[in-house]
Amino acid sequence: MRSVALAAVVVAVLVVASRWGSFVAGGSDSYCYVHQAERWASGQLQVVEPLALEAPWPNAPLAFAPAGHRPSSTVPGAIVPICPPGLSIFMVPFLWIGGPAAVFLVVPLFGALLVVATDIVGRRYGARIGLVSAVLLAASPVFLNQLIQPMSDVPATALWMLALACATSTSRGQSLKAGLAASAAILVRPNLLPLGVVIGVFLLCRPERAWRVRLRSAVEYAACCVPGCLAVLLIQQAFNGSPFSSGYGPAGTLFTTLNVMPNLARYPRWLVEVQTPLIVLAVAAPVLLPGGLTWLLSGLFLVNLGIYLPYFVFNDWSFLRFLLPTLPLLVVLMVAVLDNLCRRLGMRRTHLVLAATAVTVAALCVGEARSRNVFRLWQLEARFERAGEFVDARLPADALVITSWHSGSVRFYAGRRTLVWDGLPSDQLDAAVAFVRQRGFVPYLLLESWEEPGFRDRFKGSPLAELDWPPMAEVASVVRIYQPEGREQYRRGAAAPTIYAP
């Protein structure tokens, strides 16, 4: 019965991902992972864009780096991803077998693995705690919000939970498996390496084991972590010119102690709001459930929190995704504490209390996810695919699209070159359009309606920046495509009517 219930939760996760998944290479992160997977699959990691070397304006390669990418530090004229390589590498077999659309299956499958791994870790406190924890994790708005996007949060979480499930096992050889899982997790999200250190310390200090066994387990675990660490260093050297330089930039520009207090005020509040106040029960775990396992889970969460407290300050709850790698541990501790309190109070049917709590809290969490538009994300993201498909179908093969937010999706869905307008110097819009024409391309402007004020402000003085003629097309109500030649046609009274594509 228990196995059937867990299987039902896994199936529910896959159904949710299938029904509401935003399987679109649209934003910076999603396009970064998908395009990087294509590069890994082809074996050509850095492809030179000749236009980036020929363009006459300063720092020209920046304008040819689409969303989620930046100019290569090692190959002039090439672009490199800002995101880590792990998720993209996992996507490669799916790309080979099923084509570009298949890469979007990776995150849902990792979501299913995460549910199973959460159950295994929760079972360290008791079978019913594992199942209830898996149910509540599956209903978490933070988890659901990342399950339906092609981003690395769910895969990283699944791999760390798998590493923890193996590390806390009493079976032989599990430290090797834990190390391999941690190695993969580091490849997916390198900055979470400290989580791996905590697990290694746990293996070295398990009190129920003899010293030699502990030492051997820790050494085996550490040795298996090495490949992921080395791969990250080698890839960063190849892309960024230094093994210790990530695509996001120097650590000094990303982290500052000034961010600690603002983030400390946000993350706990968001957790209570999103996961219900019941999540606070996890704080009592070290008192009510003392022991190495509780300290391990608590320590992992605190390390995860400590990594992101100095990071940028964001004002949207969705950035709780930074804590997702250890959020399942909070859920496990919460359920274990609730179970412990029920038994301390002498409740006869604790399993029924836990079941009722699971159903109630899961319903509240799903409702919270709905109110926060988690299940509408696929509709919002669809504009990237629709705009890209419109460019593919209606614009000429030699079109070059000047855009920013859609600079990745136009390349992915239409196969057209793009030029990123906010990578251009403010006085170079007209020069860029002239350069594009000289090189035999037909320039187009593609902007979302909210981008237009920024575009006008950036290129003040350029007639094109006025956007004072009707667009060639309007896609999904918010994406507008302008043909620069259309401005003169409009002024002569010969403009073609706008095409409206829903």
Average pLDDT in the 90-95 region?
98
pLDDT digits (tens, 9 = 90+) for 147-168: 999 999 999 999 999 999 999 9
Average pLDDT in the 444-452 region?
97
DSSP 83: S
In contact, 88 and 36? CB cutoff 8 Å? yes
DSSP 481: E
pLDDT for residue 345 is more than 90: no
pLDDT digits (tens, 9 = 90+) for 162-216: 999 999 998 888 999 999 999 999 999 999 999 999 999 999 998 788 889 999 9
Average pLDDT in the 260-282 region?
97
Taking residue 477's Cβ as centre, other Cβ atoms within 10 Å add up to 11
Q: CB under 8 Å to 134, separation ≥6 — which residues? A: 6, 9, 115, 116, 118, 119, 122
Dihedral over Cα of 233, 237, 241, 242: its sign: positive
pLDDT for residue 57 is more than 90: yes
For the chain, how many residues are written? 502
Tell me which amino acid residue 324 is. L
pLDDT for residue 120 is more than 90: yes
Band of residue 348 on the pLDDT scale cut at 50, 70, 90 = confident
pLDDT for residue 409 is more than 90: yes
pLDDT digits (tens, 9 = 90+) for 12-36: 999 999 999 999 998 899 999 999 9
Taking residue 490's Cβ as centre, other Cβ atoms within 10 Å add up to 14
Looking at the DSSP assignment, which residues form a beta bridge with residue 474? 480, 500
pLDDT for residue 276 is more than 80: yes
Band of residue 259 on the pLDDT scale cut at 50, 70, 90 = very high
In Å, the largest CA–CA distance within the chain is: 88
The residue that leads in pLDDT, 119 or 2, is 119
- Note the pLDDT of residue 496: 84
Distance (Å, whole) CA 469 – CA 211: 77
- Note the pLDDT of residue 500: 95
Enter the pTM of the model: 0.95
- Residue-wise burial string across 350-380, b where 16 or more C-beta atoms lie within 10 A, e elsewhere: bbebbbebbeebbeebbebbeebebbebbee
Average pLDDT in the 355-362 region?
94
Band of residue 252 on the pLDDT scale cut at 50, 70, 90 = confident
**Residue whose token pair is 């390589």:** 85
Q: Hey, what are 74's tokens?
A: 């090692």
Helix/strand/coil for 272:
helix
- Note the pLDDT of residue 249: 82
- Note the pLDDT of residue 237: 96
Band of residue 251 on the pLDDT scale cut at 50, 70, 90 = confident
- What percentage of the chain reaches a pLDDT higher than 90? 90
Distance (Å, whole) CA 423 – CA 66: 10
Q: Backbone dihedral region of 43: left (phi > 0), alpha (psi from -120 to 50 degrees) or beta?
A: left
